[in-house]
Structure 1
């Protein structure tokens, strides 16, 4: 008699769900920014209303995202406990992928305490990288740097996330690389960070991508 080990279909369904375009990015956006309006998500990812509606409805049907109406004026979407658990599991899978050598797309973590600028940098990178975001120090501290290839850090002299928060990333023995975006060149003199590429605002997509590829190439040369 074969022992019933549970219904594997649910695993396949969730895998299929997350493999669909925008699903995982939407989950991470809702996790990073908290309750999000439909218009915020549409603006951030520049996708059609129909695609966004279908994506959010599917995530809601699975109990991963919760839809909340506010006095009939607008609705917001937030991550449920089940959704948070799912993203934790995805993080564990990322770690396994990195350890097994099967990872093919670099993971880039965007660090900026301004959600609008954070989203702007992330939007420049979504088409080429697996993008994560941290808008607060606590979000940064719970990142899994062992599966992060590059951190893009918008440096602000008196910002709530100062460069000391990145010291664990900037150690010479760390395999993660750092790209620092600064307001002016004189700010570079204040930073003493290893494995670091740098850009001065304003930054274009080609410039940011070239800098990321440069630090990744340097890491490959060091290995």
Structure 2
């Protein structure tokens, strides 16, 4: 990824890479729910296809996800997290808890409660699922 960071501050630099609404929605879908197909990502929020494509390209350039040909349909693409992407899972997990506690969003209240009870266990579980999804969907050599 080209270096177009606006600041040397780590928080500002992180926001330059992952800090807009649609990027976080894409990360939620790819990392937390293991969605891999273009048609699955950002569906509930209605992300426009051109914006989705832009965010997927940016995340690929940043080394957070990788793009591969679909295993059964070479015209389609799948998007898989890299290790760099998987390392974002704790941040997203904390956003789930914060959002449940401090906004009107209550869609995953049970998950937020489970995270509060065993944050590290939940993170390890989600990381393992993301890694397993990646392994299962990687093209065979």
Please tell me the TM-score bracket, short chain as reference. Answer: 0.5 to 0.7
Please provide the CA RMSD for this pair: 3.8
Counterpart Cα distance in 2 of 1:129 and 1:16? 25
In the other structure, the counterpart of 1:145 is: 116
Mean Cα deviation higher: 19-28 or 34-43: 34-43
CA distance in 1, matches of 2:41, 2:79: 9
**Higher relative contact order by CA 8 Å / sep ≥ 6: 1 or 2?**
2
Q: Which has the higher helix share?
A: 2
5 Å-filtered alignment, 1:63-82, equals 63-70=63-70, 72-82=74-84
Q: Is the 8 A contact 1:22 1:55 kept in 2?
A: yes
**Gapped regions of structure 1 (runs ≥ 5):** 1-6, 109-126, 135-139, 149-223
Query: Residues of 1 paired with 2:109 and 2:10: CA distance?
Result: 28
- 2:105 matches 1:129: yes
Higher Rg of the two aligned structures: 1
Structure 2 stretches lacking a partner, 5+ long: 1-6, 120-141
Secondary structure (helix, strand or coil) at the match of 2:88 reads helix
Q: Deviations over 1:28-86 (max 9, x none)?
A: 21123325111111534311111111111111111111111125231111211111112
Of Structure 1 and Structure 2, which has the larger fraction of its residues in strand? 1
* CA displacement 1:110-154 (0-9 Å, x = unmatched): xxxxxxxxxxxxxxxxx95386699xxxxx6xx531699xxxxxx
TM-score normalised to the size of structure 1? 0.39
Map of 1:80-95 to 2, 5 A cutoff?
80-88=82-90, 90=91, 94=94
Q: Say if 2:69 and 2:76, in contact at 8 Å, map to a contact too.
A: yes
